[in-house]
């Protein structure tokens, strides 16, 4: 039971990061290697806002979204837009942005590790004032379940619902899907595809920023913390199928639980090894994704 809950919280983080990545790639066909650094920015916003502004984790969620979205907007406007349509150049440019952001954090904040201390979850450093209710532990069927992990799942569920509504029930979502399906035709109909690109990139980056706030609850905050999450997010998108929101949800759940169960049974190294092997098998036998029909 406890392993399942841990896997659910891992899956929630993967889902949030992968959702932003999938929106950006689905709309722009751009692989953003700086996406993981938006996770890192969200985590550092949490640390700095709590230390200097006295904000709690609830207030840090929208703040991190806004800051990461602004970073994403700047990256899209200054780096991605001039290179649009040049996949390799965009790949290298966003990788360069990722390295620059990491080094800037190291220059200004050093190599120190920050974390949120919650019993059984975080490091021994208390940097963010966590509400008392999130530090509690539930006892269900003889299993201790940290409330914080349930909170992570709840935030992921809310973001999933909001994103679904935004994509499928709003004018912006209709334009986004139209640009993704037929950019030239959509632009000829008067839709500003550059504006849609910028907003999609900003929204995807903002989601990663929120993930950074949540991640700092059970991982230490460091300049290079985002890289593993962008790799895992790519695996979630590949496994679920690009442009398939339900597929992203289900693949995040499957991969999160697989990693959790294997890591509990052995260790994190074996957990990630099995995870990579699982995704390789998907690429070999169902390259379009587990939850996308072949005629899509």
Domain residue extents for the chain? 2-228
> Quick one: pLDDT at residue 293?
54
Residue 292 to residue 296: CA distance in whole angstroms: 7
- Report yes or no: 188 and 174 within 8 Å, Cβ to Cβ: no
Separation CA 260–CA 6 (nearest Å):
7
How many other β-carbons are positioned within 10 Å of the β-carbon of residue 276?
12
- List, for residues 151-184, the tens digit of each pLDDT value: 999 999 999 999 999 999 999 999 999 988 888 8
Predicted TM-score (pTM) of the model is 0.87
Q: In the prediction, which pLDDT does 62 show?
A: 96
Mean pLDDT, rounded, for 235-241:
83
Task: Give residue 209's pLDDT.
Answer: 96
Q: What is the mean pLDDT of residues 218-222?
A: 79
HSE, side-chain direction, 13 A CA sphere, residue 92: 4
| Mean pLDDT, the chain, integer | 83
Mean pLDDT of 13-33: 89
Which pLDDT does position 198 carry in this prediction?
94
H or E stretch covering 145:
strand 143-146
What does the DSSP 8-state code read for residue 181? H
pLDDT in tens, 47-99: 888 888 888 889 999 999 999 999 999 999 999 999 888 888 999 999 999 99
Residue 244 has pLDDT above 90, yes or no: no
Mean pLDDT of 93-110: 89
Task: State percent of the chain over pLDDT 90.
Answer: 36
pLDDT higher than threshold 90 for residue 196: yes
């Amino acid at each position: 039971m406890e392993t399942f809950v841990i896997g659910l919280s891992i899956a929630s983080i993967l889902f949030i990061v992968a959702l932003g990545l999938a929106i950006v790639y689905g709309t722009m066909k751009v692989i953003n290697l700086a996406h993981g650094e938006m996770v890192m920015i969200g985590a550092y916003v949490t640390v700095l806002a709590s230390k200097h502004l006295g904000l709690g984790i609830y207030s840090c969620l929208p703040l991190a979204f806004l800051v990461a979205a602004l970073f994403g907007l700047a990256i899209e406007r200054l780096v991605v837009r001039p290179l649009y349509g040049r996949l390799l150049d965009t790949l290298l440019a966003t990788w360069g942005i990722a390295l620059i952001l990491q080094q800037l954090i190291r220059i200004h904040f050093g190599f120190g590790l920050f974390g949120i201390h919650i019993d059984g979850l975080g490091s021994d450093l208390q940097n963010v004032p966590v509400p008392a209710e999130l530090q509690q532990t539930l006892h269900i069927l003889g299993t201790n379940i940290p409330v914080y992990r349930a909170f992570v799942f709840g935030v992921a569920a809310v973001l999933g619902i909001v994103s679904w509504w935004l994509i499928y029930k709003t004018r912006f979502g209709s334009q986004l899907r139209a640009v993704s399906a037929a950019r030239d035709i959509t632009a000829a109909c008067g839709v500003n595809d550059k504006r849609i690109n910028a907003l999609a990139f900003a929204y995807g980056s903002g989601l990663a920023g929120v993930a950074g706030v949540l991640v700092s609850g059970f991982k230490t905050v460091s300049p290079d913390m985002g890289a593993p999450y962008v790799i895992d997010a790519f695996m979630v998108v590949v496994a679920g199928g690009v442009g398939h929101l339900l597929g992203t949800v289900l693949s995040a759940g499957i991969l999160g639980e697989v990693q959790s169960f294997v890591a509990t049974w052995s260790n994190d190294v074996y957990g990630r090894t099995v995870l990579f092997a699982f995704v390789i098998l998907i690429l070999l036998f169902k390259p379009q994704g587990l939850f996308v029909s072949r005629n899509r």
